[in-house]
Amino acid sequence: MSLTAGVVAVQGDVEEHVRAIERVCDRRGRSVSVHEVREPGVIPECDVLALPGGESTTISRTLHRAGIAPEIREHVASGRPLFATCAGLIVVSADAGDDRIDELDLLDVTVERNAFGRQRDSFEARLDVAGLDEPFPAVFIRAPAIDTVGDATILATVDDRPVAVRQGPILATAFHPELTPDDRLHELAFFEPEPAASSPE
């Protein structure tokens, strides 16, 4: 059966997520149609969903204004996979410590925006990620870090700060897996959910 994927296309690296999803599906021999989500009515058709990085205050405001936010909540509530990267992580968190962000409160973590400081505004790290055999080339761009973790499971850390977590159908990273040709985290997010979550296969 063909997979229907959505990439929330408010802002940010949408095209890169689309291509990563197409690559993963191609490798797994799955046909896929990927929709860029800008309005309500698309997410209910999607088996899997990506929420890209960008600027989290803009993304948060637009999601609520466009009426997409409730559909993201329903998507997760129904156990369908959501992959949130960077600003996406900030938006799905429980608290980002910024009044301009109306968090979706789907992931039991609090985050600090731009947590790695000026000198390390952008950097790359070869990251050990739970569930992957080889380190992942992680690209950080004005990345958030996770401050406190409730129910979520930590998959990776930088300087002892969590930068990748999963909780039920949600996988979230402070970095940008869509900016590298390595799509193992898209594969983990969409095809190898935690046992409690339903699989799109």
Ligand X SMILES: NC(=O)CC[C@H](N)C(=O)O
| Known binding residues | 54-56, 113, 141-142
142 binds ligand X (CB under 6 A): yes
176 is annotated as an active-site residue = yes
We find the least distance from the C-beta atom of residue 108 to ligand X, in angstroms, to be 19
| CA–CA gap between residue 200 and residue 131 (Å, rounded) | 19
Question: Would you state the structure tokens that stand for residue 88, as one six-digit string?
Answer: 């996406």
74 is annotated as an active-site residue = no
CB closer to ligand X out of 89 and 129:
89
User: Taking a C-beta distance cutoff of 8 angstroms, is the pair 34, 7 a contact?
Assistant: yes
We find the least distance from the C-beta atom of residue 180 to ligand X, in angstroms, to be 14
Cβ-closest residue to ligand X? Answer: 53
Query: Over the Cα atoms of the chain, what is R_g?
Result: 15
| Contacts to ligand X from residues 110-139, by CB under 6 A | 113-114
86 binds ligand X (CB under 6 A): yes
| CA–CA gap between residue 12 and residue 3 (Å, rounded) | 23
Q: Residue 116 CA to chain centroid, in angstroms?
A: 19
SS3 120: coil
Name the site residues for ligand X (rule: CB under 6 A).
Answer: 53-56, 86-87, 90, 113-114, 141-142
